[in-house]
Amino acid sequence: MRSPIFDQANREKQSTTRWTMQSDKMLRVGFGPEALAAKGAMVAYQGQFDFAHEGSGSMSNFLKKAVTNEGGQLMRVRGQGEVFFARRNSNVFTIDLEGDSITINTSSLLAFDASLDWTITSIGNAGMLAGGLFNLTLTGQGTVGITSDGPPVLLDCSVQPTFVDPQAAVCWSANLTPGVKNDFKIGSLIGRGSGESFQLAFHGPGFVVVQPSEGTPSGPGAR
């Protein structure tokens, strides 16, 4: 039997490193230590594993989850072997936190070390205006895997105000507190209910990572 699919480049990467890029679209995580992952992000695993629903973690997170259903989409992964994570053929990146923090749009989250502290963060009362405005802030020592729907751009927010579509923001500096700009002119040009009528506003010492996409629609009627 012969096929390019059996090429060495497509075989599992053998590595003693816990977080390994299987390809630019797939992340391989070796266990031991437990990890938390977005539900639906696991595409395969080898070994013996237990996948359990992860609760909100605090009363504050629970209240936000009750209003938005955010933060309840995590699962705790424990076992021995390796797990492969991917999402919608998106590009995959890892970020090593070294005692610092980062805020991630939950739609771009794959998995992270369970040793990291996490909390659900919101942007004012904008969660009811557009999706993706309740996010996850991670702090501590460990690694997180994220996705970008296409090659991302890293924008410096310290020079001038930066405005980003909520669905296009992948992650940003945790020290930045984005606001919400309601642009009725843009909304009227694109159509009522369009997410583009709201933008996340960043300004200060830090960065925001933006993907060249508004992501995949979710919720009733999504495919």
Q: Tell me, what's the pLDDT at 194?
A: 46
Low-confidence ranges of the chain (pLDDT < 70): 56-72, 124-133, 183-197, 215-223
Which tens digits make up the pLDDT trace of 99-144?
A: 999 999 989 999 999 999 999 877 755 544 444 467 899 999 999 9
Which residues are CB-contacts of 94 (< 8 A; sequence separation ≥ 6)? 19, 21, 27, 143, 144, 145, 146
Residues ≥6 apart with Cβ < 8 Å to 178 = 123, 172, 200, 201, 202, 208
CB neighbourhood size of 204 (10 A) = 13
What's this model's pTM, rounded to 2 decimal places?
0.82
